[in-house]
């Protein structure tokens, strides 16, 4: 019973002794060093360097062809010939499909003969009008007939030409969707045609970067289909409006695609280079935020750590550009900042 009471009486004394011992061990001595840290604290450090970095904006968008259409017919009739295969590369003006055109050909021939005859009559009246005043009215009437026949013949030739479906531009055809002998109309899908020499991608850029955007800026893109390849292109269009819901502006980049690796509909991850920045770079984990300021621990030649205020410019995927507070060649603590304070002796790992 007596021993228990003695233990209870000594417990507060023991706690006071332990508290005093901890203060003695951990508070700095007159030289500014913690008593327990006569040996240096081991930390990791990074040497500050002057680097060139691109200020970039990342986006995502779907690829589309430079030109893309569904091939259809302007006339209704039966297919008499097909001149292409699935996926074929065709030139502008190359015939693709022939429709039955016998009636249109005969009409053109008939109008051509009539026009030839009416022109002959016109020439005869021109000669008569030189000597006979009565022939002048007939001359004007004949000229009207000739002009009307010319217009009819042009319309007939146009329709005849439309009976042959041609490629409007150079590109690669899709799957053939008709067969010879089929009846097609203006709604019948024949095939698709894509100009894949240039691939375009539309993506969004935050409104705050609008003043920096210029046509011709460098844009790079990656695709899951080619994980180890980066495609380089240029900014080709900046929309005239800001989306009031997303507060972003739509832009378009175009990429040369002569090897046809990129295809319409592919998901592309874009990176727009807004500007080049030359600044001192430090690892982001070296930055110590305190209220509205930022600090790092630098290491001097004597191996002492000093808390230094810095001004941040831009963040780059694990690195931070610093505009003031540091010089190239200085070392900053990246790991172990919680174990040191102003004037602590440190030892860099490795």
| pLDDT at residue number 54 | 77
Instruction: Give backbone dihedrals phi and psi of 64, rounded to 5 degrees, phi first.
Output: -140, 155
* Highest CATH level, class, for 56-66+192-277: mainly beta
Question: E strands along the chain, which residues?
Answer: 41-47, 49-71, 77-82, 89-90, 95-99, 164-166, 171-173, 183-184, 191-206, 218-223, 226-243, 248-256, 267-283, 288-290, 293-299, 305-316, 319-324, 331-335, 346-348
| pLDDT at residue number 316 | 81
| pLDDT at residue number 17 | 61
| pLDDT at residue number 318 | 86
pLDDT in tens, 68-99: 999 999 999 999 999 999 999 999 999 999 99
Element (H, E) at 31: none
C-beta separation of 230 from 224 below 8 A: no
- How many Å apart are CA 28 and CA 64, to the nearest integer? 67
The residues, ordered by sequence, that sit 6+ positions from 125 with a Cβ below 8 Å of its Cβ are 135, 138, 139, 142
Low-confidence ranges of the chain (pLDDT < 50): 1-3, 24-26, 29-37
C-beta separation of 280 from 326 below 8 A: yes
Tell me the sheet residues that pair with 254.
200, 234
């Amino acid at each position: 019973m007596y021993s228990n009471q003695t233990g209870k009486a000594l417990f507060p004394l023991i706690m006071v002794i332990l508290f005093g011992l901890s203060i003695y061990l951990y508070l700095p001595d007159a030289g500014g060093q913690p008593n327990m840290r006569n040996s240096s604290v081991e930390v990791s450090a990074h040497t500050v360097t002057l680097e060139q970095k691109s200020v970039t904006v990342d986006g995502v968008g779907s690829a589309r062809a430079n030109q893309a259409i569904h091939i259809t017919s302007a006339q209704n009739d039966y297919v008499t010939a097909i001149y292409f295969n699935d996926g074929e590369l065709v030139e502008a003006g190359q015939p693709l499909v022939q429709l039955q055109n016998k009636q249109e050909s005969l009409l053109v021939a008939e109008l051509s003969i009539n026009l030839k005859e009416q022109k002959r009559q016109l020439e005869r009246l021109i000669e008569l009008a030189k000597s006979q005043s009565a022939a002048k009215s007939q001359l004007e009437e004949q000229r009207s007939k000739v002009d009307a026949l010319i217009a009819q013949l042009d319309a007939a030739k146009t329709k005849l030409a439309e009976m042959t479906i041609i490629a409007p531009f150079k590109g690669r055809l899709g799957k053939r969707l008709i067969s010879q002998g089929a009846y097609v109309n203006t709604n019948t899908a024949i095939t698709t045609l894509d100009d894949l020499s240039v691939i375009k991608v539309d993506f969004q850029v935050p409104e705050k970067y609008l003043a920096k955007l210029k046509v011709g800026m460098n844009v790079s893109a990656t695709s899951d289909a080619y994980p180890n390849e980066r495609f380089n292109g240029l900014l080709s269009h900046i929309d005239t409006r800001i989306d009031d819901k997303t507060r972003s502006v739509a832009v378009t980049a175009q990429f040369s695609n002569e090897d046809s690796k990129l295809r319409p509909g592919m998901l592309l991850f874009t990176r727009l280079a807004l500007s080049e920045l030359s600044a001192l770079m430090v690892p982001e984990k070296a930055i110590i935020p305190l209220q509205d300021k930022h600090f790092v621990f630098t290491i001097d030649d004597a191996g002492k750590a000093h808390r230094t205020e810095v001004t941040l410019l831009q963040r780059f995927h694990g690195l931070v550009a610093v505009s003031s507070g540091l010089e190239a060649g200085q070392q900053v603590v990246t790991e172990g900042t919680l174990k040191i304070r102003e004037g602590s002796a440190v030892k860099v790992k490795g």
